[in-house]
Amino acid sequence: MIVDRQGRRFRNLRVSLTAACNYACTYCVPDGKRLVAAQDELSADAMLRGVAYLIEAAGIERVRITGGEPLVSPKLDAFLRGVSQLGLADISLTSNAQLLTRKLPLLLECGIHRLNISLDTLDAAAFRGIARSGDLATVLDGLQQASAAGLQLKINMVPLRGQNLDQVLPMLDYCLANGFELRFIELMRMGHLARDPNAFQRQFVGMPELLAMIGQRYAYSQAVAPLDATALRYEIPGLGFFGVIANESVPFCRTCSRLRLSSSGWLHGCLSSSNRHYVGDLLDKPRHQALPALQGMLVKALADKQDVAFTGGATVMKIIGG
């Protein structure tokens, strides 16, 4: 097992199935143009071999499928069916839920029980302003159907000053009422926001401000979370839970166990590092050739992790999927 001097190792793999997305969220894409798949994206088979090799070489236990938007990928069927056969402890998926109703039977068939859904507002006009595409009613309908089918849902919201701060309490009320766990993600200095500190500061809302807003309506207390969890978790007694992924306010680099595989075959050991390691060619090789080379890449990827705090990254979320 590859472990660094802080005792960190890769346990959780995020696989970006495609860079294509049917939204163009303001914090992810600066120019509002929807993203298309990269020309050099790997096949579903190559990505599945990648996951299988990384389970062996790095000790990956859990996989989260992301993007881009994973539900738009033509590889989704084959990848889901294959990944569900790899004996992982947990497989989950992150999506904007625009196509959730249509893909629900496939997700259920492949044994996906947990979804993280990105939803930044319940206000239709603000939704269009942030996502710059999609339809709020379709998303809300998809959430109801997924929940009725027994899927466990977490909702990710990025609070943005001037765009959806008035939605913090309505979103929390909605999630508590529906049994969804809301997770506030502090805005991250990624891509264009890493290059434009003023734009970042203008929109950033930190955990203390969020907790103060929530405290005006609800009494809450800190709840237990796994050691390598990204979210600080809180319980509102009798009503449910919410979390804050406080990249800036309470950095979690010291316990980070995440590894990312992009749809074009690059390994990323850290969102805050511009280093990446190409493994696409290794995935065509037989196991006995691929694994030793992959281990060398993993040592480098683990060394890319920040010691203490996220400092920003040139990489755009759309490529590696958060």
Binding-site member from 168, 187, 244, 294 for ligand SAM (CB under 6 A): 187
Q: Does residue 155 belong to the site contacting ligand SAM (CB under 6 A)?
A: no
- Taking CB under 6 A as the rule, does residue 188 contact ligand SAM? yes
202 touches 247 (CB < 8 A):
no
C-alpha distances (whole Å) from 275 to each of 11, 40, 105, 271, 301 are 20, 19, 38, 9, 8
67 binds ligand SAM (CB under 6 A): yes
Our CB check for ligand SAM shows the closer of 183 and 305 to be 183
Contact region with ligand SAM (CB under 6 A), list: 61-69, 212-220, 267-275, 284-292: 61-69
12 binds ligand SAM (CB under 6 A): no
318 interacts with ligand SAM by CB under 6 A: yes
Give the chain's length: 322
- Phi, then psi, of 114 in degrees rounded to 5: -130, 135
Q: Does 193 bind ligand SAM (CB under 6 A)?
A: yes
Residue 171 touches ligand SAM, criterion: CB under 6 A: no
φ, ψ for residue 165, nearest 5 deg? -65, -30
Beta-bridge partner residues of 15: 65, 261
- Alpha-carbon gap, residue 64 to 170, rounded angstroms: 28
Output the smallest distance, CB 188 to ligand SAM, in A: 3
Residues facing 190 on adjacent strands: 313
Contact 187, 160 (CB under 8 A): yes
Nearest to 66 by CA among 95, 42, 89, 108: 95
Q: Note whether 260 binds ligand SAM by CB under 6 A.
A: no
CA distance 97 to 157: 13
Burial of 221 (0-12, 13-18, 19+ CB in 10 A): exposed
Of 51-59, 76-84, 185-193, 230-238, the window that binds ligand SAM (rule: CB under 6 A) is 185-193
Query: 298 or 319: whose CB is closer to ligand SAM?
Result: 319
- Angle (nearest 5°) at CA 298 between 63 and 83: 25
User: How many Å separate Cα 56 from the centre of its chain?
Assistant: 23
316 token code pair: 């755009």
The answer to whether 191 and 317 have CB atoms below 8 angstroms apart is: yes
Residue 130 near ligand SAM by CB under 6 A: no
Q: Looking at 88-96, 132-140, 254-262, 273-281, which segment touches ligand SAM (CB under 6 A)?
A: 88-96
Residue showing the smallest CB distance to ligand SAM in the complex = 322
Residue 66 in the binding site for ligand SAM (CB under 6 A)? yes
7: helix, coil or strand? coil
Site membership for ligand SAM, residue 322 (CB under 6 A):
yes
Stretch that binds ligand SAM, among 76-84, 146-154, 184-192, 230-238 (CB under 6 A): 184-192
Binding of ligand SAM by 63 (CB under 6 A): no
Q: Is 261 in the site for ligand SAM (CB under 6 A)?
A: no
Cα distance between residue 310 and residue 296, in whole Å: 24
Q: Which is nearer to ligand SAM, 67 or 280 (CB)?
A: 67
Of residues 28 through 57, those in contact with ligand SAM by CB under 6 A are: 28
Contact flag: residue 232 with ligand SAM (CB under 6 A): no
Query: At 49, which amino acid appears?
Result: R
Residues lying near ligand SAM in the complex (CB under 6 A): 21, 27-28, 66-67, 69, 94-96, 118, 156, 158, 185, 187-188, 190, 193, 317-318, 321-322
